[in-house]
Structures are given as structure tokens and as C-alpha cells.
């Protein structure tokens, strides 16, 4: 685990991030980047259902890979937002294009991969505030 930077949030409920992705390598790389910004990162434990992961971890922010339609669904996003979890979808330009309507309807923030550190930092900070 990486040490938090001096300008990052303390390890509190507001700094817990759950990453949902079927691509373990992409999730690990994104998780490492999120950790360098001082957040506590968790991953779903397959075959645990995603909604159970939300209940178990109780994150403040959930980063959802939109390349997997089963994880980037209106049901998941609705359940997460009802629990006060900020959802940020991420993926390639092509994957994000496929879920544009969902992102617009649900007013979701999105992150183009590969993520740039400053953009990721800004989106995580916005998610912890609102």
C-alpha cells in the first residue's frame, strides 16, 4: 500500500473507494493511482455480488468500469446513489460512448482511461464533497 500524500484526505469514511472492474490488471493500476492520492482502495471479491460488495465495504466513492454492462447498470448506480455513494464511471472512449445516455440520465461523472493523475484527483475530490 502506498503512503498518503500530505495533501490528501485522511483515511476516513470519505476516503474509501471501491473499484469495480472485470479487468484485474486495469483495476490494480487504477487502484495504485488512487492510493497515491491518499484514498483507501478496495476491490470486489468475485464471486461476491457487486451489491454485496457495496454493503460490505460502504465506500464513499465507487469507480465502475463501464466496459462491463452488468456492473455499469442503472440498478447498480441507483442502489449506490441511494446509499450516498458517489459513482464515477471509467473506461475507454468507446466504452464511455456506449453508456453516454446512462451517464447523462444519472448525472454521473466519468473518467477516460488511461487516467491522468490531476484529472483523477479532481474527480475524486468533487465526489467526496458532493
Residue 113 gets which letter from DSSP? S
Helix 24-36 and helix 117-129, axial crossing angle in degrees, nearest 10: 80
Question: What distance in Å separates the CA atoms of residue 113 and residue 92, rounded to the nearest whole number?
Answer: 5
CATH pick for 13-129 out of 3.10.20.30, 3.30.420.40, 3.40.50.2300, 2.40.37.10: 3.40.50.2300
Q: What is the pLDDT of residue 111?
A: 92
- Which residues, given as ranges, of the chain have pLDDT below 70? 1-13, 70, 130
Domain parsing of the chain, residue ranges: 13-129
| Cβ–Cβ < 8 Å for 108, 130 | no
Amino acid at each position: 500500500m502506498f503512503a498518503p500524500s500530505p495533501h490528501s484526505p485522511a483515511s476516513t469514511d470519505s476516503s474509501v473507494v471501491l473499484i469495480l472492474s472485470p479487468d484485474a490488471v486495469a483495476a490494480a493500476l487504477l487502484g495504485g493511482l488512487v492510493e497515491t492520492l491518499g484514498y483507501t482502495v478496495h476491490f470486489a471479491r468475485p464471486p461476491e455480488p457487486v451489491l454485496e460488495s457495496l454493503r460490505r465495504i460502504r465506500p464513499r466513492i465507487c469507480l465502475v468500469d463501464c466496459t462491463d454492462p452488468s456492473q455499469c447498470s442503472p440498478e447498480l448506480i441507483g442502489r449506490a446513489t441511494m446509499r450516498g455513494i458517489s459513482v464515477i464511471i471509467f473506461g475507454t472512449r468507446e466504452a464511455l460512448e456506449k453508456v453516454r445516455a446512462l451517464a447523462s440520465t444519472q448525472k454521473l461523472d466519468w473518467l477516460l482511461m488511461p487516467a491522468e493523475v490531476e484529472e483523477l484527483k479532481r474527480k475524486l475530490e468533487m465526489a467526496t464533497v458532493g
